[in-house]
């Protein structure tokens, strides 16, 4: 089919995951989640859409995510304008926790993990999509530096288990409700004296910390003398941060202090961190997270200090490519059956069914095609063995078992095929 006859394409900023890459994508999702399962995190799924106010209140009214990037859904009922595709999952997971009272009925912290698509109406480029996949973790209802350290270590373990090495951990503390307001005011006073455009000045009034994150040289050049949050941290925040740092160091996890790390969501307090990969260009953050001690109260819940992260699956796959790492993905089909003639077709159909029921992955040549097409299909399938049979073989009560790597072919009795293949595939 020529490309011009293709009427529809995947929407801008999205892409299809096809069988050729699916093995890697699924293995990455699994690898990012495995350390969480070993650390007592329980799996949760929440809807892909929520009340839009959950995100504006939770993620923050002044963030790019809420003001520019939310996919709001028009429905047929009066609920229109009230729903949005989730741009992230932390607010949703906390909403679900509060709704089900998990914080009252179970252990604290409530430890949860999730895996799912998120939606942001961003300008698409390599590594930045409008639908992307995160594996995330949230530990809800405990203030303990060991929990912050645990999460950072688990993410580090996850990336390392995939063989990734060229990433760095950036670490910062954003202070708490005691010390941040004092800093905020000092920063605002500084920013008001700069030569900034109107929008940036407005941002300085709503969320001055975000101005520090502005990538434009015209802004960055003026920030040299800006007051830094580290110099304003209260004693509690300083001590807390020091403990997180010590625990990471004791676990052998290297990190870089980055006093300018702000993150694009408003709910963070104290510990914030980002995993950046050096082979990815502009979209270098493969994961990020931090503590959000005030979020529960912001969405109408009780005080529940919490910490979490989300790791980007799409960017982790790109990071593997950048480091030239190919994961060892098992073939989807171990055995491919090639019948010669009608009678053989029926017998091999039965054999393939039996193999599958015995736990061996097997496929069969469909469509009534001949032997030549059959061997081509067997090669393409990635199978290690082909099972070939014609009338003469069946009359002798055997099939031919061909090792597709060595080319060796041996007859095997029909009733011994399952055990023979199971042995050879071990
Ligand atoms: P985030 O930094 O917005 O944090 O996203 C986490 C990761 O998701 C990023 O580091 C990146 O790898 C990936 N990501 C974000 N946007 C895109 C995009 N447009 N295309 C591809 N990948 C993307 C959060 O979402 C917070 N909820 C993390 C968190 C959990 N904080 C506390 N708990």
* Extents of the domains making up the chain: 3-179+233-322, 335-425
Please, are residues 183 and 175 in contact by the beta-carbon 8 Å criterion?
A: yes
Q: What is the mean pLDDT of residues 405-415?
A: 96
* Dist. CA 156–CA 142, nearest whole Å: 22
Query: How confident is the prediction for the chain on average, in pLDDT?
Result: 94
User: Which atom of ligand 1 approaches the CA of 287 most closely?
Assistant: 10
Average pLDDT over residues 283-292: 97
Give the C-alpha separation, 273 to 88, whole Å.
16
**Tally of CA atoms within 13 A in the half-sphere of 100 that contains its CB:** 11
Q: Band of the pLDDT at 164, cuts 50, 70, 90? A: very high
Report the DSSP beta bridge partners of residue 113.
43, 137
The two tokens of residue 65 are 């995510």
- Read off the pLDDT of each residue in 261-286 and give the average, rounded to a whole number: 93
Q: CB count, 10 Å around CB of 14? A: 14
Question: Among the atoms of ligand 1, which is closest to the Cα of residue 311?
Answer: 7
* Lowest-confidence region among 71-80, 172-181, 405-414: 71-80
Place of tokens 């995510």: 65
Shortest-distance Cα residue to atom 16 of ligand 1: 128
Contact 400, 352 (CB under 8 A): no
Q: Report the alpha-carbon distance of residue 308 to residue 193 in Å, rounded.
A: 36
- Under the banding of pLDDT at 50, 70 and 90, the label for residue 80 is low
Confidence band of 424 (pLDDT split at 50, 70, 90): very high
Q: What is the mean pLDDT of residues 292-301?
A: 95
The pLDDT of residue 5 is: 66
pLDDT reported for residue 210: 85
Q: Calculate how far, in angstroms, residue 132's C-alpha sits from the geometric centre of ligand 1.
A: 9
Q: Is 263 annotated as belonging to a binding site?
A: yes
- pLDDT at res. 207: 85
First-last CA distance in the chain: 41
Looking at residue 3, its pLDDT comes to: 53
| Cβ(289) – ligand 1 distance below 6 Å | yes
- For atom 18 of ligand 1, the residue with the nearest CA is 128
Å from CA of 142 to ligand 1 middle: 22
Q: Is the pLDDT of residue 66 over 90?
A: no
pLDDT at 1: 43
Q: What is the mean pLDDT of residues 179-188?
A: 94
The residue whose CA is least distant from atom 25 of ligand 1 is: 88
Q: Please state which of the ranges 211-215, 239-243, 362-366 shows the lowest mean pLDDT.
A: 211-215
* Rounded distance from Cα 359 to ligand 1 centre (Å): 38
Residue located nearest, by CA, to atom 15 of ligand 1:
312
Taking the C-alpha atoms of residue 19 and residue 110, their distance in angstroms, rounded to an integer, is 36
Q: How far apart are CA 307 and CA 290, in angstroms?
A: 5
Of ligand 1's listed atoms, the one at least distance from the Cα of 130 is 19
Ligand 1 pocket, residue 115 CB under 6 Å: no
Phi and psi at residue 199, to the nearest 5°: -65, -40
How far does the centroid of ligand 1 lie from the alpha carbon of residue 139, in Å?
17
**Token pair 């700069």: residue:** 194
Cα(165) to ligand 1 centroid in Å equals 20
Q: What is the 3-state secondary structure (H, E, C) of the chain?
A: CCHHHCCCCCCCCCCCCCHHHHHHHHHHHHHHHHHHHCCCCEECCCCCEEEHHHHHHHCCCCCHHHHCCCCEECCCCCCCCCEEECCCCHHHHHHHHHHCCHHHHCCCCEEEEEEEEEECCCCCECCECCEEEEEEEEEECCCCHHHHHHHHHHHHHHHHHCCCCCEEEEEEECCCCCCHHHHHHHHHHHHHCCCCCHHHHHHHHHCHHHHHCCCCHHHHCCCCCCCCHHHCCCHHHHHHHHHHHHHHHHCCCCCEECCCCCCCCCCCEEEEEEEEECCCCCCCEEEEEEECCCHHHHCCCCCCCEEEEEEEHHHHHHHHHHCCCCCCCCCCCCEEEEECCHHHHHHHHHHHHHHHHCCCCEEECCCCCCHHHHHHHHHHHCCCEEEEECHHHHHCCEEEEEECCCCCEEEEEHHHHHHHHHHHHC
Nearest Cα to Cα of residue 314 among 277, 349, 350: 277
Q: What is the architecture of the domain spanning 335-425?
A: 3-Layer(aba) Sandwich (3.40)
- pLDDT (tens digit, 9 = 90+) per residue, 101-146? 999 998 999 999 999 999 999 999 999 999 999 999 999 999 999 9
Return the pLDDT at 61.
Answer: 80
Are the C-beta atoms of 286 and 280 separated by less than 8 Å?
yes
The C-alpha atoms of residue 117 and residue 130 are separated, in whole angstroms, by: 10
Phi, psi dihedrals of residue 191, rounded to the nearest 5° = -65, -35
Cα–ligand 1 centroid distance for 335 (angstroms): 40
Q: Is the pLDDT of residue 421 over 50?
A: yes
pLDDT for the residue numbered 330:
84
What average pLDDT does range 410-420 have in this prediction?
97
Name beta bridge partners: 42: 112
Q: Is 41 annotated as a binding residue?
A: no
Ligand 1 atom 11 nearest Cα: 312
> What does the pLDDT average to over 311-321?
98
Query: Annotated binding residue at 267?
Result: yes
Ligand 1 pocket, 167 CB below 6 A? no
Residue 273, ligand 1, Cβ within 6 A: no
* Percentage of the residues of the chain whose pLDDT score is greater than 70: 98
Output the pTM of the full model: 0.93
Is the CB of residue 109 below 6 angstroms from any atom belonging to ligand 1?
no
Does 344 have pLDDT greater than 90?
A: yes
Asked if residue 268 belongs to a known ligand binding site, the reply is yes
Task: Tell the residue number behind the tokens 């604290």, with chain if given.
Answer: 108
Place of tokens 């989300």: 310
Q: At what angle do helices 313-322 and 19-37 cross, to 10 degrees?
A: 110
Q: Which CATH number fits domain 3-179+233-322: 3.30.930.10, 3.10.580.10, 3.30.980.10, 3.40.50.620?
A: 3.30.930.10
Residue 197: which pLDDT band, with cuts at 50, 70 and 90? very high
């Amino acid at each position: 089919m020529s490309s011009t006859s293709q009427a529809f394409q995947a929407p801008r900023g999205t892409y299809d995951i096809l069988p050729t890459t699916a093995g890697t994508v699924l293995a990455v999702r699994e690898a990012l989640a495995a350390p969480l399962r070993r650390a007592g995190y329980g799996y949760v799924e929440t809807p892909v859409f929520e009340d839009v106010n959950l995100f504006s209140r939770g993620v923050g009214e002044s963030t790019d995510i809420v003001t520019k990037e939310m996919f709001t859904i028009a429905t047929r009922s009066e609920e229109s304008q009230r729903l949005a595709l989730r741009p992230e999952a932390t607010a949703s997971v906390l909403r679900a926790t509060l709704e089900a009272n998990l914080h009252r009925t179970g252990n604290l912290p409530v430890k949860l993990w999730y895996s799912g698509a998120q939606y942001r109406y961003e300008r698409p480029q390599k590594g930045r999509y409008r639908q992307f996949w995160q594996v995330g973790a949230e530990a809800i209802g405990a203030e303990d530096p060991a929990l912050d350290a645990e999460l950072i270590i688990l993410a580090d373990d996850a990336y390392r288990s995939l063989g990734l090495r060229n990433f760095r951990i950036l670490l910062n503390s954003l202070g708490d409700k005691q010390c941040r307001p004092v800093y905020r005011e000092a920063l605002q006073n500084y920013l008001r004296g700069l030569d900034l455009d109107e929008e940036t000045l407005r941002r300085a009034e709503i969320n001055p910390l975000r101005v520090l994150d502005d990538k434009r040289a015209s802004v960055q050049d003026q920030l040299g003398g800006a007051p830094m949050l580290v110099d304003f941290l209260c004693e509690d925040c300083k001590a807390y941060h020091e403990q997180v740092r010590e625990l990471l160091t004791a676990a052998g996890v290297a990190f870089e202090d980055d006093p300018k790390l702000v993150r694009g969501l408003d709910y963070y307090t104290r510990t914030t961190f980002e995993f950046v990969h050096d082979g990815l260009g502009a979209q270098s953050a493969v994961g990020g997270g931090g503590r959000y001690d005030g979020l529960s109260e912001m969405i109408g819940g009780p005080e529940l200090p919490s910490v979490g992260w989300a790791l980007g699956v799409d960017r982790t796959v790109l990071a593997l490519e950048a480091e030239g790492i190919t994961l060892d993905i098992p073939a989807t089909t171990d055995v491919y059956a090639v019948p010669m003639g009608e009678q053989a077709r029926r017998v091999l159909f039965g054999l393939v069914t039996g193999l599958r029921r015995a736990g061996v992955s097997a496929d069969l040549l469909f469509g009534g095609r001949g032997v030549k097409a059959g061997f081509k299909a067997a090669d393409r399938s990635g199978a290690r063995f082909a099972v070939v049979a014609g009338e003469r073989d069946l009359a002798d009560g055997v099939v031919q078992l061909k090792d597709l790597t060595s080319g060796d072919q041996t007859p095997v009795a029909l009733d011994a095929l399952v055990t023979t293949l199971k042995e050879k595939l071990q």
